[in-house]
Amino acid sequence: MKVLVIGGGGREHALVWRLRKSPSVTKLYAIPGNPGIASVAECHVDTDYVQFAKATGVDLTVVGPEAQLVAGVVDKFRARGLPIVGPTAANAALEGSKVHSKRFMERIGVPTARFAAVSNQTEARDALRHFRLPVVLKTDGLAAGKGVIIAQTQDEAESALSSLAFPIVIEEFLEGEEVSFIVLCDGKRGVPLEPSQDHKRIFDGDQGPNTGGMGAYSDSGILSPAMRDQIMDTIIEPVVRATQFTGFLYAGLMMTPMGPSVLEFNVRMGDPETQPLMMRLESDWGEALMAAARGNLTPDALRWSPEPATCVVMAAKGYPGTPKTGQNISGLDAVSDAVVFQAGTKRVGEDIVTAGGRVLGVTARGVDLKDSIDRAYAAVAQIHFEGMQYRGDIGAKGLKRYNSEVRARSSVG
């Protein structure tokens, strides 16, 4: 089958890279793609997606970014009978509006932090009195991971009120470990991908401002089978039932002492979570996605390697502020033991140069988590561009969890 992928970031490079290995896929297109994607798919400039799919006889379209989903690309394809993986615009509001999403969760009883939705400063000041510090303030609309403020003091909360556009959500601060739980849905059923963890802050040790994600790893040990069942029963299945959800439902979870609680829903694959996930997937990705688009997913549609994978994001100088672009990237050809997914890159003649904030996602699988981390960083060490920044501790939390489990087991035995 011929598959079109919409988008041009690291997530889409990983999706296309994996589709290329699927026996069911004969031809790959991407709009707009990027220089990395161009090595595995035919890239076309931004154009009318429906017209392009019709003109080229595309059998299946997969949407990467949220903006097109919120704008209704899935509804347009469905109206013309064209198979596509993604949610309707109505369901994309689960990500597109935090107010809608929180009210929806409250209505159907999905565990999430206690909240107040407020539409002006007066309401916000009133509501703040009912929350302990630290308190979380979130812009309603899409904000590329940058619309959340965690205020430690009353003063910080007050000044946040003047920097955020209303309406906003004020919510209780939750403590615990964060997990990205992504599920492929066909309108009736959800089939979970393996769990993964993102690293949202720019600096090591989760310091500094939030970013779109500085690295991710996927390891089965992140969640026990019992915990996965609990998440499916209390969070995913109620949402799929209530919304007939199609596409990727991404639950950003906080694993609190009271159980998993939803921080946010996204309606697409995560970036950079997709990069390690695609390296672990073993079944035919094209077939699974087509089954999702046709409404006939089976529980065994996705099979995974037990080997963990780790992605280290290399970002441009200035990110998450304005990134410095046009820097020459060297060493890409020297990497052999990892896959370099390209995000913010551009081809200039023979050179690949930086063209965005997150530039590369250097991703490797390993026999265990430590091995995958070591391989990813060995590849990172081969690559250079001026002002590059990356975290040195991607996967460290996973290693810590693993080591403490080993200690617990040996002290019991």
User: What does the binding site for ligand GLY look like in residue numbers (CB under 6 A)?
Assistant: 145, 198, 213, 266, 270-271, 273
Closest CB 83 distance from ligand AMP, rounded Å: 30
Mode of pairing for the β-strands spanning 135-139 and 60-63: unpaired
Q: Can you tell me the distance from the alpha carbon of 112 to that of 94, in angstroms, rounded to the nearest whole number?
A: 13
Q: Are the CB atoms for 351 and 327 separated by under 8 Å?
A: no
Q: Which residues contact 4 (CB under 8 A, 6 or more apart)?
A: 28, 29, 30, 31, 49, 52, 53, 56, 58, 60, 61, 62
Contact assessment for residue 318 and residue 348, using Cβ atoms and an 8 Å cutoff: no
Residues in the chain: 413
In this complex, which beta carbon is closest to ligand AMP, that of residue 266 or of residue 342? 266
Residue 52 binding: pick among ligand GLY, ligand AMP, none (C-beta 5-8 Å cut-off by kind)? none
Tell me the window of 88-96, 167-175, 285-293, 397-405 that interacts with ligand AMP (CB under 6 A). 167-175
With CB cut-offs between 5 and 8 Å by kind, which of ligand AMP, ligand GLY, none does residue 213 bind? ligand GLY
Residue among 140, 186, 219, 264 that touches ligand AMP (CB under 6 A): 264
Dihedral sign for Cα atoms in the order 203, 207, 211, 217 = positive
Please say which residue, 131 or 390, places its beta carbon nearer to ligand GLY.
Answer: 390
Cβ distance to ligand GLY smaller for residue 189 or 280: 280
The label of the residue with tokens 């939030």 reads 210
What span, in angstroms and rounded, lies between the C-alpha atoms of 298 and 279? Answer: 21
Q: Does 140 bind ligand AMP (CB under 6 A)?
A: no
CB closer to ligand AMP out of 175 and 300: 175
Q: Please give the size of the binding site for ligand AMP, defined by CB under 6 A.
A: 14
Task: Say whether residue 263 binds ligand AMP (CB under 6 A).
Answer: yes
CA 14 to chain centre: 12
Nearest distance, CB of residue 113 and ligand AMP, angstroms = 4
Residue choice 174, 293, 312, 314 for contact with ligand AMP (CB under 6 A)? 174
> How far is 217 from 389, CA to CA, in rounded Å?
18
Kindly give, in sequence order, each residue whose CB lies less than 8 Å from that of residue 67, ignoring residues fewer than 6 positions away: 142
Nearer to ligand AMP, 30 or 148 (CB): 148
120-139: contacts with ligand AMP (CB under 6 A): 136, 138
Query: Is 252 a residue that touches ligand AMP (CB under 6 A)?
Result: yes
Compute the C-alpha angle 228/229/231, nearest 5°. 65
Closest distance to ligand AMP from the beta carbon of 62 (Å): 23
* Residue number with CB closer to ligand AMP (171 or 284): 171
Smallest separation, CB 247 to ligand GLY (Å): 14
Given candidates 52, 166, 173, 203, which one binds ligand AMP under the rule CB under 6 A?
173
CB of 85 to ligand GLY, least distance (A): 16
Site string for ligand AMP, 203-242 (x = CB under 6 A): ----------------------------------------
* CA–CA gap between residue 299 and residue 214 (Å, rounded): 31
| Separation of alpha carbons 162 and 143, rounded Å | 16
In angstroms, the CA 127 to CA 123 distance is 6
DSSP line for 113-181: --EEEESSHHHHHHHHTTSPSSEEEEESS--TT--EEEESSHHHHHHHHHHSPSSEEEEE---SEEEEE
- Provide the residue type at 65 as one letter: P
Query: Using the rule CB under 6 A, which residue among 43, 62, 113, 269 binds ligand AMP?
Result: 113
Which residues contact ligand AMP by CB under 6 A?
113, 136, 138, 145, 148, 150, 171, 173-174, 178, 200, 252, 263-264
